Amino acid sequence: MFTQELLQELVSYNPPQGNVLSLYLDTDSTQQSIDTIKLQAKGLLKEVQANHNQETTAIERYLDHSFDWSKPGLALFSAADGDFFRAYPVAVSFRNRLRVGQKPYLKPLAHFFDYYAHYGVVLVDRLGARFFEFHLGELQDTAGFMGEDVRKLKKGGGSSAVGMRGGQGGGRHESEVAQRNLRDSAESADAFFREKQVRRLFLCGTPETVAQFRGYLSKQLQSCIAATCAMDMNAGEHEVRARSLQMLRQNNEEREQELVANVLNAAAAGGSATLGLDDTLQAICDKRIQLLVLSDGYRTPGYVHEESGYVVANLAKSPLSDKELTAVSDIIDTAVTFTLAQGGRIEVINGNSDLEAAGRIGAMLRY
């Protein structure tokens, strides 16, 4: 399981010499053959093999002999003539890409870590509920609650002790049992998720049952609800995971639009936000970034002063001379690395025309 500590190790890594090869792969062998995936990886590595033979050899050896191909995504980092090697199989596929740079290329991994972190699923019906905790697309824990059987009383028979004529009390009794089960299920859900770091919660069942169950949840869990859907109570783990990932992606798309709107509005109002490359890089230099938003695929050259953490794209705006700075092919990736090192969050935004028009990068600031 990939962790925040492993991400920080990559953030702080500096190769003693040379560059770092960062390779991200879609390794979903249910969609294409393993041989095809290997050929795609070798095709990417071939472009840099002449100058990085030991690093590319280490990656190919891992794919041939060590990777078990059970995970649909893989991030690989190789440097220092192959002496530094890290492989992180994950439960969600990446887009194939290779980067060579002075630091590990972390935009996709940082985005993955924020995008798929800590979410929960509840399947509920009138009898009980099942609870699932996921992190980074993988099931972490599961539990359930089974209440009293909801039996419809026969008209005029058996349980006349409820004291209603003609079986009219049967419907009320049935409803009371169902409501009690929903209340108890909600209490069990609160207990299950209480010590977990769930950021988003998905409720699944019939619309009526989900609406009633939702009302019994604690306010804290209600605030985490991101979406609802119809799903059978007896759905298997694979279906629960697939459906929850689908809802998570849709929810994240909506959340990304809201984040961009918040940055744009705050910047327009003169609040704690920046837009555009120069101002955002200056905020990184000042260690003010709380949330960095950037368009997927955005790359541009720039300059960095590693010792001070200074980054700049336009030399005319730099108090340092070009002799004091190191040129880098992608200042955006350096900005991501510095933001993570400062404890900031990263949001890589896909296809947002408003952010594109505003310079493809911006940030919410700490102050």
Give the CATH number, domain containing residue 220.
3.30.420.60
More confident of the two residues 166 and 52: 52
> Which pLDDT does position 82 carry in this prediction?
74
Q: Distances from the Cα of 184 to the Cαs of 141, 151, 259, 272, 324, in angstroms?
A: 20, 18, 36, 44, 65
Tens of pLDDT, residues 116-165: 999 999 999 999 999 999 999 999 999 999 998 877 655 544 443 333 33
Sign of dihedral through CA atoms 108, 111, 78, 322? positive
**Sorting pLDDT into bands at 50, 70 and 90, what band is 169?**
low
Do the domain assignments include residue 44?
A: yes
Q: What is the CATH number of the domain that holds 92?
A: 3.30.960.10
100: left (phi over 0), alpha (psi -120 to 50) or beta: beta
Do the domain assignments include residue 256?
A: no
Q: Could you tell me if 353 and 280 lie in one domain?
A: yes
> Which pLDDT does position 158 carry in this prediction?
45
For 13-22, 209-218, 353-362, which range has the lowest pLDDT when averaged over its residues?
Answer: 13-22
Q: Could you tell me if 171 and 218 lie in one domain?
A: yes
* 335: containing domain: 263-365
Rg of the chain in Å (alpha carbons): 26
Sheet order of strands, 345-349 included: 273-275, 361-365, 289-295, 345-349
Q: Could you tell me if 157 and 217 lie in one domain?
A: yes
Q: Could you tell me if 123 and 230 lie in one domain?
A: yes
Sign of dihedral through CA atoms 340, 222, 349, 98? positive
Domain boundary pick from 105, 138, 168: 105
Whether the pTM exceeds 0.85: the reply is: no
Contact 266, 273 (CB under 8 A): yes
| Residue 229, both tokens | 């859907």
> 10 Å Cβ neighbour count for 77?
23
Contact 297, 355 (CB under 8 A): no
Q: Kindly tell me if the per-residue pLDDT of 101 is higher than 70.
A: yes
Do the domain assignments include residue 359?
A: yes
Do the domain assignments include residue 113?
A: no
What average pLDDT score do residues 334-341 get?
A: 94
Do the domain assignments include residue 125?
A: yes
Contact 260, 314 (CB under 8 A): no
Q: What is the CB-side half-sphere exposure of residue 304 using CA atoms within 13 A?
A: 20
Q: In what helix (H) or strand (E) does residue 23 lie, and over which residues does it extend?
A: strand 20-26
Q: Could you tell me if 169 and 130 lie in one domain?
A: yes
Q: Distances from the Cα of 266 to the Cαs of 275, 276, 295, 339, 350, in angstroms?
A: 10, 14, 18, 20, 21
Q: Could you tell me if 288 and 342 lie in one domain?
A: yes
Q: Could you tell me if 133 and 70 lie in one domain?
A: no
Q: Could you tell me if 132 and 203 lie in one domain?
A: yes
Q: Could you tell me if 290 and 231 lie in one domain?
A: no
| Residue 290, both tokens | 């709380």
Q: Could you tell me if 147 and 199 lie in one domain?
A: yes
How many angstroms separate the CA atoms of 52 and 282, rounded? Answer: 34
Q: Write phi, then psi, for 196 (nearest 5 degrees).
A: -105, 155
For 53-62, 80-89, 149-158, 170-179, which range has the lowest pLDDT when averaged over its residues?
Answer: 149-158
Domain boundary pick from 105, 138, 166: 105
Do the domain assignments include residue 245?
A: no
Q: Kindly tell me if the per-residue pLDDT of 352 is higher than 60.
A: yes
Do the domain assignments include residue 306?
A: yes
Q: Could you tell me if 211 and 169 lie in one domain?
A: yes
How many angstroms separate the CA atoms of 152 and 176, rounded? Answer: 11
Tens of pLDDT, residues 276-298: 999 999 999 999 999 999 999 89
Domain count, the chain: 3
Do the domain assignments include residue 247?
A: no
Q: Could you tell me if 274 and 354 lie in one domain?
A: yes
231: left (phi over 0), alpha (psi -120 to 50) or beta: beta
